[in-house]
Amino acid sequence: MQASAPSLATAAADTRCILTPALSPSVSRTSNRRRDRAVDPGSISAGEREVRAGLSTCLTRLWRYGVLLSRRRDVADDLVQATFVRALERANQFQAGTQLDRWLFAILHSIWLNEVRSRRVRTGQGQVDADRVLMVDGGRQTEAHVLANQILLLADRLPLAQKTALWLAYVEGLSYGEIAEVTQVPIGTVMSRLAAARARITDSTVLDPARDGVPSLYFTPLQRA
C-alpha cells in the first residue's frame, strides 16, 4: 500500500514512505564492513581530527538531505551511514578549517547519484544521466522544509533538481559555487535551476509574499562563489 512521502518537518515522527527502492546491497555491505578503526592519535592529521569531531554535529542535516533525495527514512539512514564511513576513510583529504558540512553534503550527494545510476543498471534500463532520473523522480513530489511552512506548499511542486538547489541555497545557505560542488554540475546549471524554481514559486497564485508573510530571502540572488 502506498503512503504519502514524508515531510522533512514530520519525518522524525515515524512518517513512512515506500516510493523508492532501498540502497543497493553493495552499499549496505560496504557500510557494514567498514567500521571506524582504532587509530593512533599521534598519526591523525588536523583535518582528520576535525572530521571525527564534527560528524555528529552534521548528522541531522545530512539525514534531512537524504530524505529530500530519496523520500525514504531507511534510505536516508543508509545514505548518512555510508557518508560517515566514506568521510572517515577520506578524512586525510579534508582541509582543516574549511567547511565540513559542505564536504559531507558533496559526499552524500555523490553516493546518491551513484546509487541512482546503479539502480537503473540493475533494473535493466541501461546507463542514463542521473540528473534525468532525479528530475523524473521529482515529479512524484515530496515536501521540502524551506524556511517557512508557506513555502512548503510551493516547493512541493518543484522537480527534485530544482528543489535540491533551493534546499541547499535557502535552508543550508550554500552559495552558487558550493551548490555546484555538492551537486556536481556547473555554476550556470545551479543558477538556471534556482531561477526556474523562483520563477515557478513567484508565478504561483497560491501565495503573495507581501500579503502572506513569505520570507523574501529566496527571491534574493546569492553570491556566485
Same structural domain, 139 and 32:
yes
Number of domains in the chain: 2
As a dihedral over the C-alpha atoms of residue 57, residue 175, residue 78, residue 114, rounded to 10 degrees, the angle is -150
Domain boundary among 116, 143, 170: 143
Same structural domain, 50 and 82:
yes
Residue 190 reports pLDDT greater than 90: yes
Q: What is the distance between the alpha carbons of residues 51 and 44, in angstroms, rounded to a whole number? A: 11
Within 8 A by CB and 6+ apart from 177, the residues are 187, 223, 224, 225
| Closest to 102 (Cα-Cα) out of 7, 225, 196 | 225
CATH number at residue 181: 1.10.10.10
CATH number at residue 76: 1.10.1740.10
Residue 144 — pLDDT band, cuts 50, 70, 90? very low
Domain boundary among 112, 143, 174: 143
Mean pLDDT is lowest, of 19-28, 41-50, 68-77, for: 19-28
Same structural domain, 134 and 35:
yes
| Average pLDDT score, the chain | 68
pTM: predicted TM-score of the whole model, two decimal places:
0.58
22: domain range?
1-143
Q: What is the pLDDT of residues 99-139, one digit of tens each?
A: 899 999 999 999 998 888 777 555 444 433 444 434 334 33
